[in-house]
Amino acid sequence: MHIHPLDAYRFGESPLHRLDARVKLSLVLLFILCVSLTPTGAWPAYVFLFTLVLSVAAASELGLTYALKRSFLVLPFLFAALPLLVTTRGSVLAEVSLGGWSLEVTAPGLERFLSIALKSWLAVQMAVLLTATTPLPDILVAMRALGVPRLLVAILGLMWRYIFVLADEALRKMRAREARSASAGGKGGGTITWRARVAGQMVGSLFLRGYDRSERIYHAMLARGYDGTVRSLPLKPLSSTERVVLGTGIAILFSLLLLTHFLG
């Protein structure tokens, strides 16, 4: 596989790398569903889910902080949940005065905000571990096994092959623009509309090159006997170890859900 900065896959020989992508993808999806179903403020459950993340991270041999570092991605979105601190009714924890308005931070508000932050952080870490240990073509095979239409998977597969080519093209265009217009790092030249028009023309030419390329690819495919049917290799059955891993994972997540809903 072409090694490229866009590829999130990190090469390795760990047990997690070797595990079948179908098992990994289904368990990650179930994990995220389980996180989503965990009630607000179920702190023990969050701790348990975090230990699951940590143990999977340990099995990935990428280092415990790998997923952690890449999980801060969700931080900007937390702005959306910030108003919950002051809009939820309940006992007042603290009062913040913000330019004439006095806002009351409530205990249930804080609980809800922290729960959302933790849940999204847990979910994103698991997704990071999936993409770091599974090459995208394997994930595509797993998607087909989980019932995603063959055609959509074929389109995604082709997209994956050409993303690198077109991303390189886009980077070359940006380098060319930077070389030609003065102080592109700062304000850049011209008015905003001029800069936008230049960017638009770059997008237009990228679009056109993609279009022409797709035509050439189509003819190349025709020349090699493509007749419109998407053929793929039959999926190999899961080994017994893989089935045990899948079963254990499902059992752990399901019992966690039962416990939090009936004891919590």
The yes or no reply on residue 123 touching other proteins (CB under 8 A) is yes
- Cα angle 3, 53, 120 (rounded to 5 degrees) comes to 90
The yes or no reply on residue 36 touching other proteins (CB under 8 A) is yes
**Min. distance of Cβ 145 from other proteins in angstroms?**
15
**Min. distance of Cβ 192 from other proteins in angstroms?**
6
Site string for other proteins, 39-58 (x = CB under 8 A): xx------------------
Quick one: which of 50, 111, 195, 252 contacts other proteins (CB under 8 A)?
195
Question: Which pair of structure tokens corresponds to residue 24?
Answer: 């990994």
The yes or no reply on residue 152 touching other proteins (CB under 8 A) is yes
In terms of Cα–Cα distance, which of 138, 38, 121 is closest to 81? 121
- End-to-end alpha-carbon separation of the chain, Å? 47
The yes or no reply on residue 258 touching other proteins (CB under 8 A) is no
Quick one: which of 20, 56, 110, 121 contacts other proteins (CB under 8 A)?
121
Q: What residues between 77 and 106 interact with other proteins by CB under 8 A?
A: 77, 79-81, 83-84, 86-89, 101-104
User: How many whole angstroms separate alpha carbon 57 and alpha carbon 120?
Assistant: 17
Cβ pair 168, 191 in contact under 8 A: no
The yes or no reply on residue 127 touching other proteins (CB under 8 A) is yes
Q: Which stretch binds other proteins (CB under 8 A): 11-19, 44-52, 76-84, 236-244?
A: 76-84
Quick one: which of 173, 245, 249, 253 contacts other proteins (CB under 8 A)?
173
Q: Is 139 left (phi over 0), alpha (psi -120 to 50) or beta?
A: alpha
Cβ pair 143, 130 in contact under 8 A: no
Alpha helices in the chain (DSSP H): 15-18, 21-37, 43-60, 65-70, 84-87, 107-133, 136-145, 150-180, 192-223, 240-262
The yes or no reply on residue 227 touching other proteins (CB under 8 A) is yes
Nearer to other proteins, 50 or 160 (CB): 160
Question: Which pair of structure tokens corresponds to residue 166?
Answer: 């077109």
Q: Is 34 left (phi over 0), alpha (psi -120 to 50) or beta?
A: alpha
Nearer to other proteins, 143 or 245 (CB): 143
**Min. distance of Cβ 253 from other proteins in angstroms?**
14
Q: Which stretch binds other proteins (CB under 8 A): 13-21, 45-53, 75-83, 246-254?
A: 75-83
The yes or no reply on residue 256 touching other proteins (CB under 8 A) is no
Nearer to other proteins, 201 or 241 (CB): 201
